[in-house]
Structure formats: C-alpha cells, structure tokens
Structure 1
C-alpha cells in the first residue's frame, strides 16, 4: 500500500474570519479558513485550498491587481507571499504586530498595511512575470513611508484610481487623505465629523468626492469646495467639506462592514443583525434590502464588474455570493458551526457525509469541494452515520433518540426508527444487504435492531454491562462486533438461530471497533492508548500496538505539565482499515493521526493535523512570556470594542471543550473525531477541529521509471508510434512514466487495435494502465474511447484481476467510480434533453412537408398524382438516404 498521502483540500469550513477577495477577473473568490486560504471557482463550481498554512489564524488578505501575488497576514503579523497560480510560497516576512488593514494599489507598485494606528507603505515584490525588468529582488520587502497621525486602530485603506492617494478610516472617528509621494502644496487632510468609529472611506470614480461611513450608520459625502477664511472673510480656502449627510434608519443595529464600487456608484452595507442594503450614490437611493444571515455580516466585497457581492458571516461560518441584479445566489455555502462527530464516504467515493453536534448532516462533493445538500431534521447532535453498501441510502443516529434513513437520490428522510423508551443513540451499524440497522446507546446497555423494510424493532441484544460505544458489521454480513465501556468486545451472530456472542476482554474502556474488509479481523482502540487486533473465527488477540507515545504530543495553553509527561492522557477515539486491509488509520484527542501496519504493528507514517497555534494542543512547548498575573495571555479576550458587549460576551458553559469552531473564540482543542478511507484507497478524510481534511496520494509529477535503458526516449517512443507498433510504444511510455507522453500514445491508438493491444499487454502494466484510464475518464471528453479500453481490459484480463483482487482493489474501485460517474452524467443528460428529442422527432419530415404543401395547393386527386416519389423523378435527390 502506498503511504505518501499529502494534504489536498479542506472541506466543512468555508469562512472563519478576515476579509474576502475576488480575483481580478471576478470569477474566483478567496476566503480565509483558519490558518489557510480556500479558493472558490464560481464559474466551474470547484474549490481548492492553497497548500501553505500559517502558525495562527489569518486576519487579512491582499491580492495583486495582476492576480498572481497573494499577501496573507495572521494575527501575529506574520506574512506569507504566495504565487497563487503556481501555488508556491515565495517569501516569509513579519510585521511584528497584527495587521488591521491591507491593500494593494491599483497600479500594483505599492501596498499599504495598517498596524494598529500606524500605516506603512511598502514596495510590491517583483516576480519574473510581474517585474518590469523580469529580475527578482534581493530584498522583496522595502518600506516606502510610515504615517502615524491616527490615534486609534485603522480599519480600512482604500486607494484612488490613479494610485497617487489613499484613504484611511480609523476608530478615532476620522478618515485621512494621504499621498504616496510628496506633492507640492499637498497637506494630509483629516476628515472629522463622525460620532463613532469610521468603518470605511472611498474615492468616487472622478476622485472629486469622498464617501465615509461610520459604525452608527452615518454616511457623509465630502467634496473639494471653497469656503471663506476664518481670519479674513474676503479670502477663500479650498478643502474637503461635508456637503451631504445620510443615515441608515436601523434601530439598535451597528454597521459591521461596507464596500463601494466607484464605476457603478453602488454602496453595499452589512449590519450586525444579518441585514444588508444596496444604495446608489450620490442620491442615496435604496436598491435592495435583504436579510442573509441569522448573525452579523462580518465582511462584504464586490467584484470588479460590480455584479457579484460576497458576504462572510463568521459566527455561523457562512459564505454567500449574491448577484444583485437577478437577485439570485451564485454561491451559498455554510460549514458546521459546531464540532463534527463522524464522517463516511459514499460507496462510489464521490461524496463525503459529515454529521455534527449542531444537528445537521451535510453531503460534500469530493471533486468540487462544495456542499450538495444539508439535512436538518434531527433536533439534537448527530453522533454516527453509515452508508448502505448498495443503493444511495444513508443512516444516521442522533442524541434526539431517533435513527433516520435518507434517500440521497430524492434527498428526503423516508424512514425513522425509535426505541420503546427515549434513548440517546451514540453508535450505528448497517447490514451490508441494507435490511437491518443496529444502534447502541449511552443510556442503555442493549443493542437495538430494526428492520429497514418495516421500521419495526426486531430484537435487543443484551450482554454488555456498560454503554455501547461502537458498532461495526462485517463486510460479508455474517457477524456484528460491538465495543463497550465495560472493557469488552463482543462478536455477535445476528442472523443465527441462537444470537450468541463471543466476549473479548480488554484492559480498558473500548472506544472504537472496526472490521477488516475481508471480515476476518477486528481492530479495537481502547482508552489506555492501546490498539489491538482480534481474529473473528476464534475471538483470540493476534496482535497489538502500544500507541500511547504515538498519540501523545501537544499542550493546552492551561496545562501545567509538559507534553512528554502528559503521555497516557490521550488515546485514539476513531480507527479504520485501509481499502486493502493492510493498514489501520487512527485519530483521537491529539494533533497526530497515525498509520500502522497490521501485520507487524509498526508505525508507518504520522500525520500532523494542524500547526495552528490559535488552537489548543498544537504546540509542544509553552512560552513563559505569555503567562501573566491573570493567567495565560491566550485566555484573555482582547477582541471587540470596549463598548461592544457582544465582542466580549462568552457564551460557553464552564468546562465545555466543544463549541463553535467557526468563531474560534474560546480556543478549541485540536482533535480528530472520525477518519475514513475512500473506497478506492487513494485518499482518506479526517474530521478535525479545523474542518474536514482531505489527504490523497501525491499527484505531483514523479519520475519512477523501471526497466529503462538508453534506447527509450520520448523521441524514440513517438517514432515507434509512427511505425504503428502500438503496444511497444505504450510500454515505452509507461517505462518513462511521463503522463503527457502516455496520453499522447494512448489517444493515438486506433479503436480497432485496442483489444489486441490490451490482450498482449504484460501483467505488470495492467495496474498502471487501469489507474491512467480512470484518470482519463475523469479528465478527458472521450467517453466511448475510455469505455472501450475498460471493456478490453476486463475481457482479456478479467480472470487475472479476479485471482489477484487484493492487489488491484484501488485500481478497480477507481475504474468503477469513473464508470458510475459517466453513467450518471449520461443519464442526467438524457433526462434533460428528453423533451427536446421528442420535439425534434415530432417535427414533420421533408417528405411530409412537400405532401402538405401539395395538399394546400389543390385538394383534388390530381394534385396528389402530380407528386412523384420514384427514383426517376426530378425530386429523387431530395429523398436520397431518407428513412420514410
């Protein structure tokens, strides 16, 4: 089994805090997600997470006008300069303090950053594709100016269209006008008059008007006018003066964010009650007024064309893109605003289902990264979810005392299972045939069994002396394994005449159990940090791993012991087998996930879930400088205004370790609540505090040649292809392992020769050929061509694949996934065009039209006789090849 899994995407969380950015072309949206940045492609409906990660949560983003350079600043002032298109990190830098505003100039030569009340102007680092001379700078960050005239934190920085001036809005109730370079006669101007902190300030398109808006909802319009001098009434002075005042009539509501589009004169304002308004300036005409969220809107931005508005609400983790002209959503995504409890892959591997303490069930598309549907029927936290092996049926268990079955084709709840008494279900298992559902509870020691067809309770399995923590069905449906807090694991024969169980005694409470895919072995994780393996046939332990040192690591900010001495307090709460059953992946209340080899018990690889220091348990050593007389500095809240009660209000219960992961207020602790391998074995996902982490095998270019000699080159491969030696050319391309060359040879093999080429292909090339075809089926548009290759492989090497099914599990599942996707797309396409096809078939043919025309000219029989249909007539060419 390959183990070089790399982080590929982050799902489950779409926005946490910070500002939002549109790409220069307006088709993509950049959103800060904790200490990472996610890019949403609004046209192609895809998303991806940039590979870099900060050590703290990101507070500000800025994108170069060319769209290639991205500046990200975390809450400690650490800066990462990234090339967005290539997805590589170019430079690390530090402002040594948190940045409150960040913006590039329209020309791209400068960027301004606000650090508290200080404004610093910097030269933009140049790159080979952005610099004038195409040369890299030795010192990428060069400071140009520093301005310190503000008396409180600066909230926003906006540039003029010619990049000569910029505006700063501050909490000191003023806005100021600055020039980039020294201009004769120009004096920095202060715009004062607001009664509360200024949220934003903008130039109009002509730069003759300035708009400022404050927290209390006051909008001022400033113009460059002449006024009589105070010293001499005969003299006049020119200055920026208030010419008009407008107010948003919103009672007990504050303005939280605002943006202005100069070309269309649109002002968009977001309020603390989730309402947003669109006004046209300078007349202050209201165009739209709509409520988007149940909590306040933290950030709003508008794309370059002024058509799309992006809103971010951090409390509920919402991200919305609104097209205001058509009043429709372009993007509407929301992550879980509470801790995720469980995840599961769909049988085809194309979707991931997440369930959380907020009572919601979300279905995520792995390829696009978007949430497809959200189910909200549960009234309490959802603790377990499982797919039926056949069909699109999902089962979920909840603390509200119900087990629900969901149809993922019609997206509805079609069956609900309940116990005779009110119980809070915590574990779930589904029979592979989909006929029986089993659930365990923390309130009862029995295992409840229902019939899926009738919804009736069939039986209750008694035997455990403690709450049932985990359940798992064997893949062959012959056995059910259950783990309990009574320190035992029991293997049940549910469908036997005598429902007996084989108890397996452990030394500590059982947290999780999992069946191996071949149904011959069970993996058990216990509270003492041990992972043990048991044979199902005779209920005997066949192996084990002491994982206490592997799972230990990381300290909470309030810990008094070092991470090394805290070993034994952590354990694996979730465990799963890989697709081929050779490895197990385990995660728990630790920042590490561990991959173990089942046969030897050796640690194969350790994955670090997060390096975000804004979350507890991610650092090994604590800094004594962060300890104060009032306790750890990280537990002292310094966010929000002094007058803002909502900014300082702590709604968490004493001792609560779970909370709203999207708000990141109460320093949640890093942990992994669930892990799952994809059916193909090429990726796995983990539900963590940060969100849903997707790890996949490294897809970057790798050079892994075999059986290679000096005669095999790209040129010789193309020459062999031109000589029509297709099999030899294909093998040479696979030996070089260059994807572009393989695709070149693959697409130029004639359809008539596919079966012969596949039949003569050596066995060692079948696996890479299957992987390549599966990738081609997802990327290329040659559907029939790819299906012909798959058919030829199955026909020629079917027996070989069946005899060695364990070695080809991942490849076969990848091909199956591709075939299912093609089938679903063709089915959807046929259904969408069924009416168009019926309409086309119902249209009259050319022959019918001619007959109808002749009938219209004369209704007598002579008119019909004048129409000739034989081949000797002058109209015979019109009917050639036409099916009458």
Structure 2
C-alpha cells in the first residue's frame, strides 16, 4: 500500500550533542542525532537510526554491559528504555530534572545518574535481584539510593570494576567516592585540590589508584596512603591516618586551550584527552608518556570514548557535526563522517536509487549511500550556498546550481567537476533542469527573469529565454525531453519548446506566485504549487487545467514562539514549497515550511496520509498550541536570552547577531525552525526522502529490520532437523540447518526438498538467509549433478527476491557474481554438449546401409546399437557417462 511508508533511516547528520557509546563488543558506535539515536556498524560498514524519538534533543546515553538495554535521556530529563537488538522502546520515564551524567554498573544491576548537584542510584529494570513478585512489571524504575554533597553540577560518574563503589566528579572542583551499599568502615570521601572544575575521574584496574582530570589541564594521581610524618605502629591510629592523597601531579601544556573531554582505558592504562582547540592527545599513565597528539577539528572536541579493547577512539564535535573513529596503533581512520553545517536545500536520487545527493547553504554537496547510510564523497568547489541539484537520466552526471553564479557538472564515477557554466553577468542561480539526454542544462535565477541554456558538451551559453516578468523559481524538463516547464513569481507557468525551429512558450495563468513545478513521469501532466497553498494539475499537451487541490488545511501545523496567531491562522506555513511525483505518477508528495509531509492521490484528490517530520520540541514550530505558563513579561521564555546567567565565562559570551537564523547553528539565538525544503521519491517507488531541519529522513515500504524467527537453542540439533524434515516442514528444516552451519546437513535438507515446492520455499525464505542460500545453491550448481533442480532454485530466488537483490546490489554483489559465473558455466557446457550431439547424429544418419547384408530390422538394430555406443563420452559401452538420447 502507498500509505505504508515508515521511518527507515536518518542521514545528513552524524552527531549533534551528548555522549558517544561503544557497544560491548566494540564493533558498533551509538551517536545521538537530535532527538534520535544512530547506530554505526563499523565492521559491516552500515548505519541505521532507531525508530523511536524523544520530545527534545538527547543529552545522555547509557548501555548496560550485556548490550541489550539502552537508556536515553533528553534535555528535560525524560528517559526512554529500549531494547537495542529489537529496536523497540520498552518504557518511558522522567527524572524530573536535566541529567548531566549517566552510567551503568559493570554488573548491570544498577545505574547511577547525575541530576545537577544530586546523585541517584537506580535498579536496572528486569534484573534478577528485583525479586520474583513481579513488582517491576508496573514500576520498572526503582530508586535504590540518593546521594547529596556536591555543590555544583556533576560532570561524570565512573564505577569500580566490582560495582561496589563509584566516583563522581563535579564543577565544584572535587571528586567524591560513594559506596553502593553501606560498607563497614567506609566513609564517603572527598578528593579536593584542583583549581578548576573536574572533567572526569576514574579508578585504575586494580582500584588502588584514582585519576582525576580538571578543565585547566591538570592530571592528579591519587593513592590510599598514610599521612606523611606519621610513624605510629598502633593499628587504630594507623587506620585513622590513612587517606586518599595526591601522589603525583601532571599537566597538559596546550597554551590557552582547555580540556573539554577525557576518557580512560583501565586495561591498557591509556588516557585520551580532547582540547578546545581541536587537538587530542593519547597518554600512557602513570608514567604520563605522550604517545600521540593530533588535530582533528578546528573547534571543540565535545566527547571522546574508547572501545572495549582500547584500539578505537571515537570523537564527537558538535559545532561542525563531526564524528570520527581513530585507530591509534595504525594511525588510520575507521570512520570519518561530517554532516551539513547548514540546512539542506535540495535532494535528488541517483537513477539507480542507490545514492542520494544533498546540497546545503554551506556550499557542500554530499553523496550518501542508501544501503550503508554513510557519506561516500563531499564536493566543496562551490563558494556559496548550493540551491538545486539534478541528475542526468543517462550516465552518472550530476548538475548543481549555486548562489556563487555557477552551474557545475560532476562526474560521479571519477568524482570530479568536469564542466562549469556561467552567465555573462553575475547571477545567483536558484533552480536547474537537465535534458534527459544530458545534452542541455537550463538554470533560473532570482536576480534575472531569463532562463539560461548551456550546451553540456561545449560549455557554451546557447540561448536566454525571455518571457517571464518575475524571478524564475522552478524549472523542470519533461521526461521525454520535448519541452521545459518554468514557474515564476509573476503568477505564470510557461511551457517552452526549446528544440523546435521557433522557440515558443505557452503561458499558464495562476492566482499567486509559483513555488514549485514538477512533471509526471509519463510527460503528460504537471503539478504546480502556489503561494496560496493550492496544488493545480495541468495537461502538458493541451495546456489546460485538469484539477485543483487545496492543501492549506493539510500543510498548516506548528506554532512558532513568535507567532501572534494560532497555527490554524498563520499564513506563513500554508503552502507547499516542494512537490514530487511517485514513480507510477498516481501520487504526489508535498512539503513546506511546516512539520507535515502530505501524500495525495492525483486522480481522486484525496489526502492519503500525513507524515509528521519531527516531534522535537527543541525546534520551533513543532507545537500546535503554546503553553501560557511559558509567557513572561519580556515575551515567550524561549526567546529570552538567558546566556548571561551561565556559570562559565565561555557560556556567557555571545558573539552572534541578534535574530540571526543562518550561519553557525550553535550560536543562533532563536530556535531553528522545523521545515521541509525538498522531497523526492526513489526511482523504484519503494521509498522517499525528505530534507528537513533534523536531517535527511528516509521513509520506506520495506522493513529494514530483518527478523530472524529461529533462535539457536538446545532444541535445534541435527536430530531435530532431520525429524522436522521427515515431517515435511521443509522451510523450518532448511532454516535450522542454516543456523547449525553444517554443510552435510544443509546439503541433505536441500536435496530432500521436492522440486514442486521450490518456488513456495523461495518465496517464504527470510531475507536474512538470502545471501547464504544463494551462495550454497551456486556451489551446488557447480558441483552436484542435479542440474535442473539447482536451476529451479536459482530461478525461484531471483524471481521472488529480485527487487531486494537490485536495491541492495552492493550487499549481494559477491553472491550474484558467483551465481552469474555458475549459470554462464552451465550454459557453456550445455551448448557444447548440444553441438557434439548434433555432430554425432549427423554422422550416424549419414552412414550408409548396404542392401542384402542384413534385413531392414537387423540394420535398424545395428544402427541403434552403434548410436548407443557413440552416445558414451569415452566410447566404451557400459563405462562412460551418457550424454544424449533417451
């Protein structure tokens, strides 16, 4: 169904703010992207975004030691407990105040949370120590204890390896040691001596040493020792004189840079420190030996974490949206990703649907791989914001328009800019259209009312189409390449026949300014979006209006903080700025400066579904009704600048322009507004993407989470697999054999499947096993004599899963190459066999029979016997392999 599109992935941004997490096995990295969490699989080179979303930006993440429970907390202290392997939210909870630190204990039974100056320890939901009375079914979060004593915000929490104690470091220049349960003789201890707020504190591997790092670059090593000068041998006095004291002091000399983050790996004694100037250093302690010092950013490094083995270091920088994973031993990047610095302006799918191109106001063009979710290349040749992009229908050529006055053509095979088009005068181009053959490119500008046309081969300006009396806002070529359609602010849409002998234009009059023009894939209809919120559909051949859709009520939604009227009465959000046809032309997708994306049926004019882009309250325009409690004498609380009340000097400084809505996203005073700047359907029609303030949202009809219904437990054995096979449950037996990974058992089950049931089994086979089954069938076809049976399997798998194999061709490339080689080999052998049989038959039929030697019956019998003898490859009857004749 066309209405079954569901959120699939979030691209375009890789890190916003908060802490990073490595999975317990060290192969996956979890990063907060706004109000969602993205998981980067560093081994399989994939990424996916968890489907649930918070009401505000995520501030802290924590993962239990088993790696199955993920706790995410937003800026307001509202938490979501989720099952990470199944990607589902289990429970919602509120800590009622902002969370500044969060950490699970190594045992996984408890987690500690820092709430400002207060510390709380909670039981982990569904743990064995919770009791068997089922009380946690109704109250999963049970508080164990509350600790107070800090005088400023808690910065970090670190547990001991036995989960009995934990360290908390705070901005009040101290670190404190707490016990999970009351210990005999233990008194909560305060570690004081730093001159600036502490960044973090850790236990050593043997728990005999504590390391603390402060903002001014001081590293203190603490040891449990006797007070200097005490020589008494009395045990009681000796115990009283034992204290945690500073054993050594070290300092990071980085000029005026301050320490912004730090991480410690106890097993290898590695300390990684990030600085405000973009440098990071790796130190071996307690000797304090500097192993590496590198620069990875021009801005602050917000967070750093180390994986379980201590080989990979993950860094996050929020100002530029950078996410890096560095392997320090080989000095190479495992992951190096960066989102757009500014808002995305336009998007387009590649003709094969495997890539998405995004352009933004930061002047960058990024190419994203749909299957992996990673940015594979970034073009930075444009010197100003890139406003539009378009693919040539043939070849891997991308065209982009920019405010710097240039149109550039990009080769996406060699990843280079091979042609640049400019106008005689300096213009800021805002729209672009490319001829399907790739021979001609057109561009429109808001500065000039003419449409410029260039030749792609020569780069020369061919013509300037004059006729519009206002800026050209949108351009589109018909897919058959016959005409080009232009929309303008002069309330008209013009259809140009630029390849005709006399260039003529057919004007279509509308009521208000034209915002977007798009042509249906069959070139017979065009959809026009206007400023009054209407979608009008016109016939291209007859230049007549066919139908009208009023979308003002559908697209309106979301009240900004500065709005004086309700969302239903605000005129600024009541129009579609971007429209896209589906692959079959039966539906249109429309979005604008609101939080809604509307899917319409063209023929009936019915709204099929409304997609909500974001529920993030950190963005402006996501609320339908404003809370009157947030109104103050100075205006809405969200618009009041409260940076002067911050405790740190760098937080109080504000160098931004008042009311600036573009530029550095971290320095703007007003909230970024939720909007959809561009939408696009995939060529196959199975997915669509939307460029929004949150990033690049992908909605798909396919369930990206591959559910495996058979777990490997003690009940799955070769004996039970054979028993299932005897019962006739072939699919279950096949999956059980795949789970056991026994080649002989898998071959036995495979060959026992009836040939008539092969299409049904291929249809019901889960996609999770598709690659393994393809590989096994190809090997069987290359080795076993069951030629027709193997070909039946290959045909059934390709017919049933052909769409998946095409859309994920990069993932299934090795298996498809193996299948192609086997099929080609079978074809070659069959052709050679048929040719040899033809020659043998011709030879036997041409052999003369002499009259009178034998009668007709005997001659025929002799001929058949000779044919049977020749039919064996080696010519020895009874020993060779029969290659022909029934």
Q: Identify whether the pair has TM-score above 0.5, normalized to the shorter chain.
A: yes
Give the equivalent residue in structure 2 for 1:525.
529
CA displacement at 1:284 relative to structure 2: 1.5
CA displacement at 1:275 relative to structure 2: 1.1
Give the equivalent residue in structure 2 for 1:115.
115
CA displacement at 1:44 relative to structure 2: 1.1
Superposed CA deviations along residues 44-84 of structure 1, whole A, max 9, x for unmatched, are 11100011100000000001011111100000111101111
Alignment of 1:92-131 (within 5 A): 92-126=92-126
Alpha-carbon spacing, 1:219–1:602, altered in 2? closer, same or farther (3 Å): same
Alpha-carbon spacing, 1:185–1:444, altered in 2? closer, same or farther (3 Å): same
Partners of 2:142 and 2:320 in 1: CA distance:
39
Asked whether 1:783 is paired with 2:783, we answer no
Partners of 2:28 and 2:574 in 1: CA distance:
41
CA displacement at 1:753 relative to structure 2: 5.8
TM-score normalised over the length of structure 2:
0.82
Alpha-carbon spacing, 1:105–1:729, altered in 2? closer, same or farther (3 Å): same
Q: Is the 8 A contact 2:277 2:298 kept in 1?
A: yes
* Aligned counterpart in structure 1 of residue 803 of structure 2, from 771, 780, 792: 771
Q: Is the 8 A contact 1:213 1:219 kept in 2?
A: yes
CA displacement at 1:557 relative to structure 2: 1.9
Asked whether 1:585 is paired with 2:617, we answer no
Superposed CA deviations along residues 365-392 of structure 1, whole A, max 9, x for unmatched, are 1100000011111100000011111111
Alpha-carbon spacing, 1:194–1:448, altered in 2? closer, same or farther (3 Å): same
CA displacement at 1:640 relative to structure 2: 9.3
Alpha-carbon spacing, 1:258–1:531, altered in 2? closer, same or farther (3 Å): same
Give the equivalent residue in structure 2 for 1:806.
none
- Please, which runs of 5 or more residues in structure 2 have no aligned partner? 708-726, 734-748, 825-886
Superposed CA deviations along residues 450-484 of structure 1, whole A, max 9, x for unmatched, are 01111110000000001100100111100100000
Asked whether 1:312 is paired with 2:316, we answer yes
Alpha-carbon spacing, 1:56–1:714, altered in 2? closer, same or farther (3 Å): farther
Give the equivalent residue in structure 1 for 2:544.
540
* Aligned counterpart in structure 2 of residue 694 of structure 1, from 672, 685, 698: 698
Q: Is the 8 A contact 2:573 2:593 kept in 1?
A: no
What secondary structure does 1:59 align onto? strand
Q: Is the 8 A contact 2:555 2:573 kept in 1?
A: no
CA displacement at 1:258 relative to structure 2: 0.8
Alpha-carbon spacing, 1:638–1:265, altered in 2? closer, same or farther (3 Å): farther
Give the equivalent residue in structure 2 for 1:726.
755
* Aligned counterpart in structure 2 of residue 512 of structure 1, from 500, 511, 516: 516
* Aligned counterpart in structure 1 of residue 622 of structure 2, from 618, 625, 631: 618
Alpha-carbon spacing, 1:535–1:653, altered in 2? closer, same or farther (3 Å): farther
* Aligned counterpart in structure 2 of residue 337 of structure 1, from 329, 335, 341: 341
CA displacement at 1:125 relative to structure 2: 1.1
Alpha-carbon spacing, 1:517–1:331, altered in 2? closer, same or farther (3 Å): same
What secondary structure does 2:553 align onto? helix
Asked whether 1:5 is paired with 2:34, we answer no
Give the equivalent residue in structure 1 for 2:281.
277
Partners of 1:424 and 1:714 in 2: CA distance:
69
Q: Is the 8 A contact 1:730 1:742 kept in 2?
A: no
Partners of 2:804 and 2:293 in 1: CA distance:
52
Give the equivalent residue in structure 2 for 1:227.
227
Give the equivalent residue in structure 2 for 1:156.
156
Q: Per chain length, whose mean CA-contact separation is higher, i.e. which structure has more relative contact order (CA < 8 Å, sep 6+)?
A: 1
What secondary structure does 1:137 align onto? helix
Alpha-carbon spacing, 1:177–1:533, altered in 2? closer, same or farther (3 Å): same
Alpha-carbon spacing, 1:766–1:114, altered in 2? closer, same or farther (3 Å): closer
Alignment of 1:491-502 (within 5 A): 491-502=495-506
What secondary structure does 2:72 align onto? strand
Give the equivalent residue in structure 2 for 1:463.
467
Alpha-carbon spacing, 1:742–1:17, altered in 2? closer, same or farther (3 Å): closer
Alpha-carbon spacing, 1:738–1:29, altered in 2? closer, same or farther (3 Å): closer
* Aligned counterpart in structure 1 of residue 350 of structure 2, from 343, 346, 349: 346
Q: Is the 8 A contact 1:98 1:115 kept in 2?
A: yes
Q: Is the 8 A contact 2:559 2:566 kept in 1?
A: yes
Give the equivalent residue in structure 1 for 2:788.
752
Larger Rg: 2
Alpha-carbon spacing, 1:418–1:114, altered in 2? closer, same or farther (3 Å): same
CA displacement at 1:311 relative to structure 2: 0.5
CA displacement at 1:633 relative to structure 2: 2.2
Q: Is the 8 A contact 2:731 2:765 kept in 1?
A: no
Alpha-carbon spacing, 1:465–1:721, altered in 2? closer, same or farther (3 Å): same
Asked whether 1:180 is paired with 2:180, we answer yes
Partners of 1:766 and 1:204 in 2: CA distance:
56
CA displacement at 1:402 relative to structure 2: 0.5
Partners of 2:135 and 2:36 in 1: CA distance:
26
CA displacement at 1:293 relative to structure 2: 0.5
TM-score normalised over the length of structure 1:
0.82
CA displacement at 1:575 relative to structure 2: 0.5
Alpha-carbon spacing, 1:636–1:270, altered in 2? closer, same or farther (3 Å): farther
CA displacement at 1:198 relative to structure 2: 0.8
Alignment of 1:284-295 (within 5 A): 284-295=288-299
Q: Is the 8 A contact 1:337 1:662 kept in 2?
A: no
What secondary structure does 1:475 align onto? coil
Report the RMSD for the aligned CA atoms in angstroms: 3.2
Partners of 1:167 and 1:504 in 2: CA distance:
72
Give the equivalent residue in structure 1 for 2:55.
55
CA displacement at 1:219 relative to structure 2: 1.4
> How many residue pairs were aligned?
776
Alignment of 1:590-601 (within 5 A): 590-601=594-605
